[in-house]
Structure 1
Amino acid sequence: MTTHDTEKTAAAPSFVEFVAIVAMLMALTALSVDIMLPALPAIDDYFAIADDNDRQLVVTAYMLGFAAGQPLYGPLSDRFGRKPMLMIGLVIFVLASLGTLFAESYEWLLLLRAAQGIGSASPRVVGLAVVRDRFGGRDMARVMSFVMMIFVTLPMIAPALGSGVLLLGSWHMVFLLLLVVGVAIALWMQVRLPETRPVDQREPLSLRWLGHALKQTVTTRETLGYTIAVAFIFGPLLGYINSAQQIFIDVFDLGHLFPLFFAIIAAALALAAFINGRLVVRVGMRPLAHFALVAFVAIAAVHACIILFVDAVPSIWLFSGLIAANLFCFGVMMPNFNAMAMEPLGEIAGTAASFVGAITTAGGAVFGWYVGHLYDGTLVPLVVGYLVLGGIAFLIVLYTERGRLFQPHHAPPH
């Protein structure tokens, strides 16, 4: 295991707790998005939204705030340390969650959702930077895979959790739960997360240093290429999340079974994370990720052909199986793509994490909103979106690797 010099205390968390800490930091966003899905019709009714597709802005506003906040926390965490910036972000998230309980208009709710996203950008950036502080190469990819195993558990259960909370009251109860979760995570981090950015490694914060860090980030071929690729591959996933409630209820008439099917499909992410965590150290990031990318595009092509030329509304089991297969590929790609983007930039991990996170989130949010907003009562926009955006991601990776796919850059450990 490759480690960097970090602050060591007798109460430092074990490897298992460290993985759990990072997973919860990153899972806060997944929970904040997916727990909303069952509440969207109630929010729609409460604010009398004219266009049903506009309810998806509850997700998109959060993701855009999430993207906008990330460039702030990375450089600041490189300069002032990981933990102070983490706590500031969590406080913003908690205050914004409190504000949503009193939102009097849909516009105010969207602004507060964006503020939630700005706050939760800190846990995402700091979590990734903390992992890079302590690990590198395949070890980093392995840790990220274990993180994702926990990370994807919340998306699996979040819609069901949201449905359960709605039984207790109005959609405000969902935001109240997010408030409680934010406070609990903040307390846990304050007590158990050590500082992983030693004082002697902190650079003075200046425009010159920021310019140097940004230049190093955008001129590193692997970082830039895989960052843009993730943005395109993230788009279909957010498009699915945006329109899932409408598709499963309007197209397939699942009613209250929607959270169950959503959880079953999301289980593919957990399976992918487990398999990737077991194989990545031995096989390598690139062979696994490139195979998953090729498979993602192939599965999307098959699905599109079925929808367009065979059966516009296939069985729920066929649709769910193909979407789950795509999510499995996504679950293999994401930790490896992120690790490959971050690996060359260990000395500026916070700034690099900000750049990678901001671009991937903003791109994914815009592409996902576009795919979701095209929903017209059919499966065509979603399935074609998977194929087109996945195909563009494949071309970007092919260019980044100069046409040489599946080639590992690190020798397996002996």
Structure 2
Amino acid sequence: MRTRVFPPQQALSLREYVLLMAALFSMVAFSIDSIMPALPQIAAQFVPDDVNRAQLLISSFVIGAGLGQLVFGPLSDTIGRRCSLAAGMVLYMMAAFATLWAQSLESILFLRFVQGMGAAGPRTCGMAMTRDLYEGREMARVNSMAFTFFVLVPAVAPLIGQWVVLGFGWRHMFTTYIIMAALILTWFLTRQPETLPPERRRKLSPGPTITAFKTVLSTRVTLLYMAVITLAFAQLMAFISSAQQVFVDVLGAGTRFPLYFAGVTIFSAISGFLNAQLVMRLGMRKLAQAGFLAQTILAFTTTLFWAVYAPEGSTALWVFCAWATTLFFLNGLSFGNLNALAIQPLGHVAGTASAVIGALPTVGAIAIAAPIGLMFNGTPFPLLIGVTICSGLALGLMQLDRHNAS
């Protein structure tokens, strides 16, 4: 049941709210996926002898997005969601602007880290706003509907990235980021009211902030689902980090890579819609478990198929695309539910909880995904084996929560 913080005439409709949340969350996905077509050019310009290092442009952004949540979470509990989100968007645009003149891979990596920290603002504040307005399965339903639209971003981001890179050069990807952020920020500031009234805000001082962090880190069910989220995000980031090399170097996709990537991700949009319908009847935990079980079986089966038959040409391409589609599809049955399960008992410190639930799993996921990506050896085996292990461990961890039927 929706809890109105403001009079009805000031609140957004559910449809517009879902679309706005999808846009805010999409900043992270777009910033990650759209840079993939630029990696070969950046590697050729700055690190021609170690092209795998260009993958770190993805990792550095994601680490910044993770750690930035530890700043914007407590900040949003103190000064409100709107001001905190706007501050993050401005930081994101400033870092993108500075990258237009960066002259080394190291400087770009640093600016990508800062850009990621800025992107943590809309991600953290958006999640906290949803927790302000919704609870339990209804919150999971809203997250799932947002995912339905959000998933279109990874589908089109590499296409947009390739168009910008081929037409204007890789640096103008960062011009694109500035324009996108400015448009979304304008929409947010003109339409979305504040969801955290002054009487519910916390003082920005070490004592209350530390207490809030302790509350989050001492909640057993939250820690359990943070570990599960870490593994779920790790397998997705491992795929994203390796995708360009697998599709181009192994499968021979060439400049058609963004089209195949779009095809893989676009079909997963239905999973968010499906989850929004099923979660109210079956519950968050059951759906997430089903997703991990299915992916463990599918990734393991694909690994065995590749080892036995060593497919080539179009067979290899379509087998890999079919498996990758299941990876994205089953994520739609996991992420919204897992985040809702993790934050459910922490409504009184939703901003800080959103920060910790976003930050620690993100950093942990990169610690798992980056080595998988760097182990690329001209085959998809490191990726397939990594996903099998991550899904299997996530499924095992979920068995430890035997009391949550949500």
Q: Give TM-score scaled by structure 2 length.
A: 0.96
Q: Output aligned runs, 1:333-352, within 5 Å.
A: 333-352=334-353
* Matching residue of 2:330: 329
Matched, 1:66 2:65: yes
Matched letter for residue 27 of structure 1: S
Matched letter for residue 158 of structure 2: P
Give me the whole-angstrom Cα distance separating, in 2, the residues matched to 1:113 and 1:315. Answer: 34
* Matching residue of 2:371: 370
Matched, 1:50 2:66: no
Deviations 1:18-55 (CA, angstroms, capped at 9, x unpaired): 11111111110000000001111111122244211101
Give me the whole-angstrom Cα distance separating, in 1, the residues matched to 2:347 and 2:114. Answer: 29
Unmatched tracts of structure 2, length 5 or more: none
Give me the whole-angstrom Cα distance separating, in 2, the residues matched to 1:174 and 1:9. Answer: 40
Aligned-pair CA distance for 1:124: 0.5
Give me the whole-angstrom Cα distance separating, in 2, the residues matched to 1:9 and 1:49. Answer: 57
Matched, 1:387 2:388: yes
Q: Output aligned runs, 1:152-231, within 5 Å.
A: 152-231=151-230
* Matching residue of 1:254: 253
Give me the whole-angstrom Cα distance separating, in 2, the residues matched to 1:162 and 1:396. Answer: 37
Matched, 1:2 2:2: yes
* Matching residue of 2:103: 104
Aligned-pair CA distance for 1:345: 0.6
Give me the whole-angstrom Cα distance separating, in 2, the residues matched to 1:94 and 1:343. Answer: 32
Matched letter for residue 237 of structure 1: L
Q: Is the 8 A contact 1:312 1:378 kept in 2?
A: no
Unmatched tracts of structure 1, length 5 or more: 410-414
Q: Is the 8 A contact 1:86 1:123 kept in 2?
A: yes
Matched letter for residue 196 of structure 2: R
* Matching residue of 1:125: 124
Matched, 1:305 2:298: no
Aligned-pair CA distance for 1:212: 2.0
Deviations 1:346-398 (CA, angstroms, capped at 9, x unpaired): 11110000000001211122212111111011111000010112222222222
Give me the whole-angstrom Cα distance separating, in 2, the residues matched to 1:310 and 1:347. Answer: 54
Deviations 1:119-173 (CA, angstroms, capped at 9, x unpaired): 0001100010000000001100000001111111110000011111123211011
Matched letter for residue 346 of structure 1: G
Matched, 1:244 2:239: no
* Matching residue of 2:294: 295
Matched, 1:139 2:146: no
Matched, 1:396 2:397: yes
Matched, 1:408 2:384: no
Of 382-391 and 264-273, the range deviating more from structure 2: 264-273
Task: Name the SS for the 2:332 alignment partner.
Answer: helix
* Matching residue of 1:278: 277
Matched letter for residue 408 of structure 1: A
Q: Is the 8 A contact 1:296 1:330 kept in 2?
A: no
Aligned-pair CA distance for 1:320: 1.0
* Matching residue of 1:318: 319
Q: Is the 8 A contact 2:302 2:323 kept in 1?
A: yes
Give me the whole-angstrom Cα distance separating, in 1, the residues matched to 2:97 and 2:354. Answer: 28
Q: Is the 8 A contact 2:44 2:51 kept in 1?
A: no
Of 105-114 and 216-225, the range deviating more from structure 2: 216-225
Deviations 1:214-261 (CA, angstroms, capped at 9, x unpaired): 222112122111111111121111111111111101101111211111
Give me the whole-angstrom Cα distance separating, in 2, the residues matched to 1:359 and 1:272. Answer: 26
Q: Is the 8 A contact 1:300 1:384 kept in 2?
A: yes
Q: Is the 8 A contact 1:300 1:386 kept in 2?
A: yes
Give me the whole-angstrom Cα distance separating, in 2, the residues matched to 1:309 and 1:222. Answer: 41
Aligned-pair CA distance for 1:312: 5.9
Aligned-pair CA distance for 1:183: 1.2
Give me the whole-angstrom Cα distance separating, in 1, the residues matched to 2:22 and 2:52. Answer: 31
Deviations 1:84-107 (CA, angstroms, capped at 9, x unpaired): 110110000010010111111111
Give me the whole-angstrom Cα distance separating, in 1, the residues matched to 2:62 and 2:110. Answer: 12
Aligned-pair CA distance for 1:311: 2.3
Of 107-116 and 12-21, the range deviating more from structure 2: 12-21
Of 237-246 and 266-275, the range deviating more from structure 2: 266-275
Give me the whole-angstrom Cα distance separating, in 1, the residues matched to 2:86 and 2:33. Answer: 23
Task: Name the SS for the 1:315 alignment partner.
Answer: helix
Matched letter for residue 100 of structure 2: L
Q: Is the 8 A contact 1:75 1:205 kept in 2?
A: yes
Give me the whole-angstrom Cα distance separating, in 1, the residues matched to 2:287 and 2:397. Answer: 17
Q: Give TM-score scaled by structure 1 length.
A: 0.94
Give me the whole-angstrom Cα distance separating, in 1, the residues matched to 2:310 and 2:332. Answer: 28
Give me the whole-angstrom Cα distance separating, in 1, the residues matched to 2:162 and 2:135. Answer: 40
Matched letter for residue 334 of structure 2: M
Task: Name the SS for the 2:167 alignment partner.
Answer: coil
* Matching residue of 1:79: 78
* Matching residue of 2:87: 88
